[in-house]
Structure 1
Amino acid sequence: MSPSRLAAPAALVLLVGISAVTGVASLSGGEWWILGVSRLPRTAAALLAGAGLAVAGVIMQMLARNRFVEPSTTGTAQAAGLGLVAVTLVAPGAALWLKMAVATAAALIGTAGFLALVRRLPSRDPLLVPLTGLVYGGILGAAATFLAYERDLIQYVDVWMNGELSGVMLGRYEFLWAAGALAIAAYVFADRFTIAGMGEDTSRSLGLDYPRVVALGLVIVAGIAAVTVVTVGMIPFVGLVVPNMVARFAGENLRRTLPLVAMSGAGLVLACDILGRLIRFPYEIPVGTILGVLGALVFLWMLNARR
């Protein structure tokens, strides 16, 4: 394996080591149980969430045929939050798996609605797509906030809509492995998603069952977004920044680039989580806040940078 291909895994291993030793409690005092109960689960949660969101972002960009979309800017995450509010109002004591199932269904419907809106937009102006997604997501988020406000559930919406890893412990993050499994499924069907990104007419001419591939992509994107929102909250811009950066250096063949997309997304979220722990040590800044600022700056750069 060439040195360039070893760089991403090596950087990821280094970040895992830094994350394991970063925290208020010192391991030198013999409190090694903190590793297994808190720090390693938190590190795993950051890796799984980052990898899943990056993969979901690149699939979303393929389906929408636009490089400026991802789950948090297309209403997917907001729809998952709306589903969580709805199931909490109807069945407050529902099991976590049931809430996750409802959030996934809501995210699936919300994503399908966004793609239906995108197909009606003129193709000559690609910036209309992310603008439509931001407005669409804002409407869904406002609906969730209104319902939560009427039932005194604003604190829950704040938790779901802001990515936060400080509460992750052993036994409270394991659903994120489902996001990892969905990312692996995306790699299995990577060639089909690459062809689907060429457009419906081209895909059909190449013998691809376009509606089925789109449906599969929607399920993967909605599932990853819902699992992430339920477990650690919404983490913005990962699915936007990472696929675009990887595409600039490695192209857009998903079979070749998807592992790098997943590793880069995992590393980005973990690095921002470490940064959030260090900026105001011993206090923490949520990883969603760090990525919100960083992602917005990179997004503005992408809009103005040369191809």
Structure 2
Amino acid sequence: MKTAPPAASPKLSRTRRPGRLFDWKLLVGIAVVAALLVLSLTTGVYDVFGAEGGGEMFAITRIPRTIALVLAGAAMAMSGLIMQLLTQNRFVEPTTTGTTEWAGLGLLTVMILIPGASIGTRMFGAVVAAFIGTMVFFLFLRRVTLRSSLIVPIVGIMLGAVVSAVSTFIALQTDMLQNLGVWFAGSFTSVLRGQYEMLWIVALVAVAVFVIADRFTVAGLGQEISTNVGLNYNRVILLGTSLIAIATGVVTVVVGNLPFLGLIVPNIVSMLRGDDLRSNLPWVCLLGIGIVTVCDLIGRTIIMPFEVPVSLILGVVGAAVFILLLLRQRRRG
């Protein structure tokens, strides 16, 4: 299999040396994110500290929701980091390559074929479809010569739009259009005890990524260099695609669509710290958690007692950052 030509991808290498894995700045970041999570636990319409049954409500809703914020935010930010590294392109992540739309199509297919499917079965369908969609995108990059890296995310968005249109048509024909809208809302409102536990799978994905981070870093240099140093490039690509699919599929089923999170976070971390995956991974996960928590807090309080889906806040912020990154890349040529 041929790799995409260097002209189709922006340079990922930086002159900045990678920072240490743990330092005092990371500890400060952990403290800030921990404060946001405490704020998440105490924010809501229901008075969990003074009302009758507040303790039970706290355990049923607030704790699961906060844990879901941590796992989903870290998973999607990490998925974007891996995808950008393997494609050598700053502008790709699960929502700009169609991976999320494919996961939704897989979820819809399972719900049609098996109406009473368990959450595990639904996740399996979403993960398989997300894997297929990500591989389709990777194969497209290898087969088609793109002169500009700016075209890559546009192509991914177009592919995602086609898949989304297919999902909408199927949902319309099967009277599941409303369910499809709920799945893609990207909200933590429905996260309750007993319905979010499968999200812990992404914690295992994060551990796996950290263990094989060096292989992903080498693979990010391209197939020729990876092969010369003895790395099985295609196997690493397959493994990375599998991990991205698992994380995206699980988050899509439990939470929904979290647009642009995997785009914003890796770019910010990379601009500040360089491109070493292993040393950047804690920062990427931490910043992903922080951003999704802030957006969720805004969504909970902006029109209280009602809630705005976190995907709406993320979409506005992410779209603005995406445009700024495109303009920055265009200026750099």
The TM-score, its normalising length taken from structure 1, stands at 0.97
**Mapping of residues 257-276 of structure 1, within 5 Å:** 257-276=280-299
After TM superposition, give the deviation of residue 117 of structure 1 in Å.
Answer: 0.9
**Mapping of residues 69-218 of structure 1, within 5 Å:** 69-218=92-241
On the 8 A contact 1:276/1:287 being kept in 2, the answer is yes
What CA deviation, in whole Å up to 9, does each residue of 1:209-240 have, x standing for no partner?
Answer: 10110011011000001001110111111100
After TM superposition, give the deviation of residue 14 of structure 1 in Å.
Answer: 0.5
- The answer to whether 1:32 aligns with 2:55 is yes
Runs of 4+ in 1 over 4 A off after TM superposition: none
- Corresponding residue for residue 83 of structure 2: 60
- Corresponding residue for residue 32 of structure 2: 11
Q: Give me the whole-angstrom Cα distance separating, in 2, the residues matched to 1:268 and 1:28.
A: 26
After TM superposition, give the deviation of residue 33 of structure 1 in Å.
Answer: 2.1
Is the alpha carbon distance of 1:2 and 1:90 closer, same or farther for their aligned partners in structure 2, counting shifts above 3 Å? closer
Q: Give me the whole-angstrom Cα distance separating, in 2, the residues matched to 1:202 and 1:160.
A: 41
- Corresponding residue for residue 250 of structure 2: 227
Q: Which amino acid aligns with 1:33?
A: E
Q: Give me the whole-angstrom Cα distance separating, in 1, the residues matched to 2:282 and 2:26.
A: 11
What CA deviation, in whole Å up to 9, does each residue of 1:81-118 have, x standing for no partner?
Answer: 11111111111112221111111111101100011111
- Corresponding residue for residue 3 of structure 2: none
After TM superposition, give the deviation of residue 270 of structure 1 in Å.
Answer: 1.0
Q: Which amino acid aligns with 1:119?
A: R
Q: Give me the whole-angstrom Cα distance separating, in 1, the residues matched to 2:90 and 2:154.
A: 12
Report the number of matched residues: 307
Q: Give me the whole-angstrom Cα distance separating, in 1, the residues matched to 2:185 and 2:227.
A: 40
- Corresponding residue for residue 11 of structure 2: none
After TM superposition, give the deviation of residue 122 of structure 1 in Å.
Answer: 2.8
Q: Give me the whole-angstrom Cα distance separating, in 2, the residues matched to 1:59 and 1:191.
A: 12
The TM-score, its normalising length taken from structure 2, stands at 0.90
Could you say what secondary structure the match of 1:47 adopts? Answer: helix
Q: Give me the whole-angstrom Cα distance separating, in 2, the residues matched to 1:84 and 1:74.
A: 18
After TM superposition, give the deviation of residue 207 of structure 1 in Å.
Answer: 0.9
- Corresponding residue for residue 44 of structure 2: 23
With 257-266 and 122-131 compared, the bigger mean Cα shift is at 122-131
Aligned counterpart in structure 2 of residue 278 of structure 1, from 276, 286, 301: 301
Q: Which amino acid aligns with 1:15?
A: L
After TM superposition, give the deviation of residue 3 of structure 1 in Å.
Answer: 3.5
Which has more helix, going by share of residues? 1
Could you say what secondary structure the match of 2:106 adopts? Answer: helix
Query: Structure 2 unaligned runs (5+)?
Result: 1-21
On the 8 A contact 1:57/1:239 being kept in 2, the answer is yes
Could you say what secondary structure the match of 1:72 adopts? Answer: coil
Q: Give me the whole-angstrom Cα distance separating, in 1, the residues matched to 2:49 and 2:136.
A: 53
With 252-261 and 297-306 compared, the bigger mean Cα shift is at 297-306
Is the alpha carbon distance of 1:162 and 1:267 closer, same or farther for their aligned partners in structure 2, counting shifts above 3 Å? same
- Corresponding residue for residue 245 of structure 1: 268
Q: Give me the whole-angstrom Cα distance separating, in 1, the residues matched to 2:40 and 2:204.
A: 23
What CA deviation, in whole Å up to 9, does each residue of 1:115-150 have, x standing for no partner?
Answer: 111123335300111011000000111111110000
Identity %: 44
Query: Structure 1 unaligned runs (5+)?
Result: none
Could you say what secondary structure the match of 2:143 adopts? Answer: coil
Could you say what secondary structure the match of 1:167 adopts? Answer: coil
On the 8 A contact 1:121/1:129 being kept in 2, the answer is no
Note the aligned Cα RMSD (angstroms).
1.3
Q: Give me the whole-angstrom Cα distance separating, in 2, the residues matched to 1:173 and 1:278.
A: 23
Could you say what secondary structure the match of 1:29 adopts? Answer: coil
Q: Give me the whole-angstrom Cα distance separating, in 1, the residues matched to 2:49 and 2:319.
A: 38
